[in-house]
Amino acid sequence: MKKQCMNRVAVIGTGFVGSSYAFALMNQGIADELVLIDVNKEKAKGDVMDLNHGKVFAPKPMNIWHGDYQDCQDADLVVICAGANQKPGETRLDLVDKNINIFKTIVDSVMKSGFDGVFLVATNPVDILTYATWKFSGLPKERVIGSGTILDTARFRFLLSEYFQVAPTNVHAYIIGEHGDTELPVWSHAEIGSIPVEQILAQNNNYKKEDLENIFINVRDAAYQIIEKKGATYYGIAMGLVRITRAILHNENAILTVSAYLDGQYNEKNVYIGVPAVINRNGIREVMELKLNETEQQQFHHSVTVLKDILSRHFDEVK
């Protein structure tokens, strides 16, 4: 019999990112059931044992097991973290050929189970693989979400919070575009409390434009810095994925910067890219269209062009 009112999440790929996500999900008590799937079955089984040993300390019971694609049939959410990660010196876009083939197999297997929920993609290059998941699955575009710039936005808010000495939750600012080298900060809508950052800069000489430019560079290049130091990044994205999971499973209508399909918003079409969007139980309810200034619009368009260039090599309909 199908589960009653149980939230089931399936994680595919239990490497650094997938297992950190599972750990964070368990600690926040958001889901009732968690199934871990990996081509390396022993890794997934080991993670299940390890997580179960912490269950007694979790805020809420969660049934965790090592499973296979058939378990996706009753999943509300399938989170894909499988595939190659960046090695030092590699860009996210360098991973596309390896990971797109892996995704064809994974998404076909999930759909064969009869899955009818929401996909959340974390694997890089995330915008390209979210598009691929949408195409391979045949699901409506709003039920396929990429983690997009959720992590970049979180890094941005954290660094701005340090600079302006306020809590990150009081910083309202977005990174949009490709989760990668062409992403951009939306300075025209960055606010501390409700005060625009541009206004603070104009009124207070303690704050400088060059510092803000450096903050953005540190956001954009954060992954390279972390990979250089410890080989991979996973805690930040794991927390971001859990945040999106909560917005979905709790039907929150939360505004988060995710990779969403554009169908005319920002004057762009037929691409998944990082933008603020309203997330609820059905996936992406709507894309929030910020009024960008001219420079931001141009930078955003450049980011779209870079993604579309790669998409067009794999999908004929993208021009």
Ligand X SMILES: NC(=O)c1ccc[n+]([C@@H]2O[C@H](COP(=O)([O-])OP(=O)(O)OC[C@H]3O[C@@H](n4cnc5c(N)ncnc54)[C@H](O)[C@@H]3O)[C@@H](O)[C@H]2O)c1
* 127 contacts ligand X (rule: CB under 6 A): no
Report in angstroms how near the CB of residue 129 gets to ligand X at its nearest: 8
Integer Cα distance of 79 and 185 in angstroms: 27
Among 27, 43, 104, 168, binds ligand X (CB under 6 A): 43
Segment interacting with ligand X, rule: CB under 6 A, options 120-128, 136-144, 196-204, 298-306: 120-128
* 38 contacts ligand X (rule: CB under 6 A): yes
* 102 contacts ligand X (rule: CB under 6 A): yes
- Tell me, yes or no, if 179 is annotated catalytic: yes
The first and second tokens of residue 8, run together, are 């089931």
Please, which residue, 182 or 192, has the CB nearer to ligand X?
A: 182
Q: What is the DSSP string of 210-277?
A: HHHHHHHHHHHTHHHHHHHHHS---HHHHHHHHHHHHHHHTT--EEEEEEEEEESGGG-EEEEEEEEE
Among 105, 282, 295, 298, binds ligand X (CB under 6 A): 105
Tell me which residue of 289, 93, 275 sits closest to 184, measured CA to CA: 275
Read off the amino acid at residue 113.
Answer: S
Site track 162-181 with ligand X (rule: CB under 6 A), x = hit: -----------------x--
* Residue 272 · residue 127 · CB < 8 Å: yes
Site for ligand X in 236-275 (CB under 6 A): 237
Quote the distance between the C-alpha of residue 39 and its chain's center: 22
Pairing of strands 195-196, 175-176: unpaired
| Residues forming the site for ligand X (CB under 6 A) | 12-18, 38-40, 43, 81-86, 95, 102, 105-106, 122-124, 126, 147, 151, 179, 232-234, 237
**Which positions are annotated as active-site residues?**
179
